[in-house]
Structure 1
Amino acid sequence: MKKIESIVFRSRWLLAPFFLGLILALFILLGKFLKELFWLVYSFAEISKNDSLISILTLLDVTLIACLIIIIVFSGYDIFVSKFSHIESDKKPGWVGKVTFSDLKLKLITAIVAISSVELLRAIINIDNNTNDVMMWKVGVHITFVFTGVFFALTDYIVSKKGQGH
């Protein structure tokens, strides 16, 4: 039994390659960000207001996704694999080590709602290139994400009150 528990406990390290893969994805996002930024700067004089707004929203979208990846990597590693004990505390972001799984879930859905908002805004700015069906799907998906976020927050609120004896 002790051997099985040891194997199960050590299996948490199988998550480390997933987090390393997400770090690799950050480099890919950085390439996309730099490509879009270069295009925006290079095309600045010739592009329309709508194209510049769409490009800026793309930069914002990629940045939000990168922040989401960092939150997941740091928090997930800290929660599920190992604490960041070898990093000096003054170099760690203040939230590292303080984020619970519930907090991570809310941060994740909040970031998804923000990303969805940017995508919806991009579609609205570029409305001439979108059909009514596409717009309805985008609005529907966004509303679903918003309701999911509210439901998660409400569930966590109820659970936290229950834990306080209410």
Structure 2
Amino acid sequence: MVEPGPAPSVDPSGKPAVERTFELWLFRSRWLMAPFYAILVAALGGLLYIFAAEAWHELSHLNTMSPERAILMVLSLIDLSLAGNLLVLVIFSGYENFVAKIEPLNSKDRPKWMGSVDFSGMKMKLAGSIVAISAIALLRTFMRLAEGETFSEHTLRWLIYLHLTFVISGVLLAVMAWIAMRTKD
């Protein structure tokens, strides 16, 4: 006859110690995402550098700039700022959704959307930003065509197909989010 060993240690919820320990380490592993967000902050700094260099370069030619060239400059700067907004959105909402809540010292300065953008909302905002960036790139290409630059028909076709793909993907994401919201009720 085999003597039973000591009973495994169990917490008040009835889980064995091994399971509790595994779940604790699994929960703590979310901090492995923190370096991703730190590197995205560095990428935001790099984007700021490129934005400043582009603005400096373009603004230094402001007195000789045609209206069309001025519009292209503005579109380029808007494009870069949208990419920056996209990075900030991913950094903040990703960190808050997957790592920990951000609690700034001055809560008056906290943007209203922080803490309220869930993963589905983040996907929608990302899709919207990508569609806007794609639209600006397409508009910039057509503006350059109007200035006399040439592009192959193949290149133009692919730019349009890519933009339409982003638009359709965004619409499908919105429909899926709408269906998911309606099925929760």
TM-score norm. by structure 1 comes to: 0.94
How many residue pairs get matched? 164
Name the counterpart of 2:153: 132
DSSP 3-state at the match of 1:129: coil
CA RMSD of aligned residues (A): 1.2
Q: Report whether the alignment pairs 1:153 with 2:174.
A: yes
AA of the residue aligned to 2:21: K
Instruction: Give structure 1 regions of 4+ aligned residues with deviation exceeding 4 angstroms.
Output: none
Bigger share in helix = 1
Name the counterpart of 1:144: 165
- Of 84, 106, 111, which aligns to 1:93? 111
Q: Unpaired segments of 5 or more residues in structure 1?
A: none
AA of the residue aligned to 1:154: V
Higher relative contact order (CA 8 A, sep 6+): 1
Q: Answer whether contact 2:104 2:110 (CA < 8 A) is retained.
A: no
CA distance, structure 1, for counterparts of residue 54 and residue 104 of structure 2 = 36
CA distance, structure 2, for counterparts of residue 129 and residue 3 of structure 1 = 63
Deviation string, structure 1 residues 44-76 (Cα, Å, up to 9, x no partner): 122333332222211110000000100111101
CA distance, structure 1, for counterparts of residue 102 and residue 63 of structure 2 = 47
CA distance, structure 2, for counterparts of residue 24 and residue 118 of structure 1 = 25
- Of 132, 135, 141, which aligns to 1:114? 132
Q: Unpaired segments of 5 or more residues in structure 2?
A: 1-18
CA distance, structure 2, for counterparts of residue 76 and residue 100 of structure 1 = 9
Q: Answer whether contact 2:131 2:163 (CA < 8 A) is retained.
A: yes
Query: Sequence identity, in percent?
Result: 35
